[in-house]
Amino acid sequence: MSMTPRPSFLVLLGPPGAGKGTQAGRLAASMGVPAISTGDIFRENVKGESELGLAAKRYMDAGEYVPDDVTNAMVADRLGQADARAGFILDGYPRTAAQVDRLDEILAEGDAALEIVLEITADPEEIVGRLTLRAAEQGRSDDSEDVMRRRLEVYREQTAPLVDLYSRRGLLVSVDGMGGVDEVGARIGVALSKTPPSR
């Protein structure tokens, strides 16, 4: 058992390609809470050709955000499941101000609150390099260079402002995402251990 209590309601923020998914998986394993990636859920639905997948696909392929009402409904449903009661790591949500508000409501309904918003920073040119590599490895249809640039632009316009918003709430912890997976993971470990649990 770990002697240091860790926050269990955590959001990962950062541009596409910053390594959020990888770090979310590692943190989830060490904290014993699920990592919930809205991008993964959308991709599974696209693959399964569900109604949600059909609604999301054209936005994803264009590098745009899926509309807030669709995304929020999906997240409310997922966070309502039993395994998310004691905590979760959200990877890729919230991404807009309306999603921030909806997440606050969902948490309040469960008598919970966000404990940490972990920002993983990354240099845009390095990201394009990483995403190009990932496109080749995973064959993702939203990793072509045009779409990739659009995704970074949408991040800057709609999601980057959330960094300030959460910083003003005193929830933000930023970690440099450049470097190897273990190196970044170690930085995250240090940053989180310095952060006293708020509750």
Q: Does 93 bind ligand AMP (CB under 6 A)?
A: yes
Q: Does 71 bind ligand AMP (CB under 6 A)?
A: yes
**Contact criterion met (CB below 8 Å) for 10 and 118:** yes
CA distance 57 to 82: 28
Q: Does 88 bind ligand AMP (CB under 6 A)?
A: no
Work out the end-to-end distance of the chain between its first and last CA atoms, rounded to an integer number of angstroms.
Answer: 19
Per-residue binding string, ligand AMP, 134-163, x by CB under 6 A, is --------x--------x------------
The helix or strand, by DSSP H or E, that contains position 43, with its residue range, turns out to be helix 38-47
CA distance 86 to 69: 25
**One residue of 7, 14, 34, 39 binding ligand AMP per CB under 6 A:** 39
Residue 149: active-site member: no
CB of 168 to ligand AMP, least distance (A): 21
With respect to ligand AMP, which residue has the nearer C-beta, 9 or 93?
Answer: 93
CA distance 148 to 21: 17
CA distance 37 to 60: 14
Catalytic residue among 43, 57, 95, 130: 95
Give catalytic residue positions: 20, 95, 134, 140, 151
Q: Contact positions toward ligand AMP, by CB under 6 A?
A: 16, 38-39, 42, 59-60, 63, 65-66, 71, 92-93, 95, 99, 142, 151
